[in-house]
Chains A and B, each alone.
Chain A
């Protein structure tokens, strides 16, 4: 019989699932691939440049910051790649590279690492990055271009290619048909179809609702996220828009609400853990974003809608389900 000098001791359970943090992050990256590839294909080299700059700077900033504070490196969990990708996909394809890098710095260092890194950050890092850029460089962050862009991005674009998004047209007092016209369509069904397939001006990853939905369904199917938040957010966006007299289908299909619902409002660290909390989070973000679109200074409100709800997550987490044994006939209290 072999002599076993040292048997391993551990606390139960002694077996674990294969699903690791890295696997979950990889799932998100896979889910984002269709929109990323599509964004690059319609906006061209400039979009690829933004994506690459954002991802590389996010990873680098994380490595550098963790080296400075002598903390354990954890780029292997791919969370910085996810942040970088998400940030790039909610920026206009013409954003200058140095601006993207500043956004990455804000995302990774200010929004994430200052609070302790993955799992500890109260606000969505990518949205903080975008919000800081939007406040610092409003012109660059709201200049839109019809696809395709030329090789150098915004630098040599002619005015003819520059355009307003459908949401901006409405914000400036335009009509729905006017917005439809900006996409070269002359009927509402054609307009909706164009918005759904996404060959129009907007952020790199936000335009194709179809591909966002494919990514979202993938995340739900792989149990990476649950559908509570996106469903609540999209439903309330439509309902509340209708209540305020805005076309509900247009509200959902335009701007970044679908992208935000599936990829931002489902961020682990910055959204509620409980199901009731998730539903309220989605609903609350929808209410804020519709209010901003309707009455605020910006044509789009997804960023601030989600960031504002991030702030109330600790309270939403109090909406826990009743534990086993506290309901039914036998309950004591």
Chain B
């Protein structure tokens, strides 16, 4: 099989050996869960329950009627004890529903739904009602990707199994342990989109999943999926970071580039994380919403590296030390991988729908460097997979020249971390770009508001001058 890849990118040490052979372990009885109202990109949710209510596993407890809405569900049976701000892995510490377990085992799932016979609207509604978000990290509502406008025809669905972040192995284990569910999820996605071509994309550091996936595809096409014309294949990719970045993956598989400011659907592609496909399969076959999350627990300070599946909202500190044992010299805890993950200040942070791993780092792993001066070696420019010019953007941002940074493509930066990783002077490029993007967006919004306000004031002044004989005062005020 030929290897596909993208241009640029780096090779941080993989460090996946610690957990790659550990079968996914299920832990289903936390004493409490902390379910944040917002663990997704999109409209903020409102709680549907109040303190004192009894809830069952699978019951919808938070929702909204916003455009990018995604509901959240109780992941255990119990009683709502508190609705208050709690530590969160995005560090925003949003409002969460705290449920105390009562030992019950009843579930309140949706009825099973045959994706191949229901309407497209019913299928999309099911994926939405099951609260499925992209499980790779960003938490974009999965149903949005499955409802492209008619002007954006989709030609290919890519299952993102690259798992390019160092340390993480949960996608790899999911491939080995539930290939049938993944293939079903892929077929459901293809069917909903009316697309035939689906590709499972995996990096070539996990070639052993290829026969497993191919066998599952063969079985599915011979059984349940026969006669539907699906063309599902497995494609190996070069092991390189960030191979699993959506834009890089699309470049590798299709040779096309997502336009600046656009979405994958602009080039006819839909990318779904493997975990998302499994959740989609469960939502149709069992009516089960996204209430369990598989993730990797690893790192030098973790004595028990493993792959774990827990109810969403399980607080990390509850798993220590019985499920996860941690060394005393623990220095840093990451939610997600080391390249794009977030370091959290407390172990009381709950596992969210988009938590793909928890990395416990020793002081040796979590080295901190003083920021040096850019020596203009150009390594960041050669490695940047978005072909931006990190060194020049850094220079522009240091001199607060936002227009120059914008011209280079600051808003196109995907914050993958490659430039900071390779920088020999340890310049905090990504950190500066992240802040710069926020400022630039705010400046653009302010500029738009100003233009709008000026246009309105001008219109009002013209209306006033037409009505009254003395136009001087509103016009002169406006001129300032």
Contact = CB atoms under 8 A, between A and B. Distances in A.
Note whether A and B form a binding pair.
yes
Given A7-B333, A330-B257, A330-B267, A21 B343 contact: no
Contact of A323 (B166, B321, B326, B412): B412
A2 B326 contact: yes
Given A7-B332, A7-B333, A12-B417, A274 B367 contact: no
A221 B331 CA distance: 36
Contacts of A120: 373
B474 interface: no
Contacts of B340: 12-13
Given A7-B344, A12-B340, A324-B412, A19 B424 contact: yes
Interface string B102-114: 0000000000000
Interface string B442-464: 00000000000000000000000
Contacts, number: 182
A16 to B, nearest CB: 6
B282 to A, nearest CB: 30
A11 B428 contact: yes
B378 A118 contact: no
Contacts of B415: 12
A321 interface: yes
Contacts of A326: 257, 259-260, 409
Given A9-B345, A325-B257, A325-B259, A21 B339 contact: no
B372 A21 contact: yes
Interface in B350-396: 361, 365-369, 372-379, 381-382, 385-389, 391-392
Given A7-B346, A268-B375, A332-B260, A273 B389 contact: yes
A226 interface: yes
A327 B257 contact: yes
A14 B341 contact: yes
A226 B379 CA distance: 10
B12 interface: yes
A142 B68 CA distance: 75
- The listed residue with most B CB atoms (<10 A of its CB), out of A324, A325, A330, is A324
Contacts of B377: 24, 268
Given A20-B424, A268-B377, A273-B378, A328 B257 contact: yes
Given A15-B166, A117-B373, A21 B262 contact: no
A223 B430 CA distance: 22
Contacts of B373: 116-120
B342 interface: yes
A119 B374 contact: yes
Contact of A12 (B251, B409, B430): B430
B120 interface: no
A16 B367 contact: yes
Contact of B342 (A12, A324, A332): A12
Contact of A332 (B259, B368, B375): B259
Contact of B431 (A11, A329, A332): A11
Given A323-B386, A324-B412, A325-B260, A274 B381 contact: yes
Given A4-B347, A7-B344, A325 B389 contact: no
Interface of B: 10, 12-13, 166, 247, 251, 256-262, 266-267, 317, 320-321, 326, 328, 330-334, 338-347, 361, 365-369, 372-379, 381-382, 385-389, 391-392, 408-409, 412, 415, 417, 420-426, 428, 430-431, 434
Closest 7 CB pairs of A and B: A13-B417, A325-B260, A11-B431, A330-B259, A323-B409, A8-B332, A324-B386
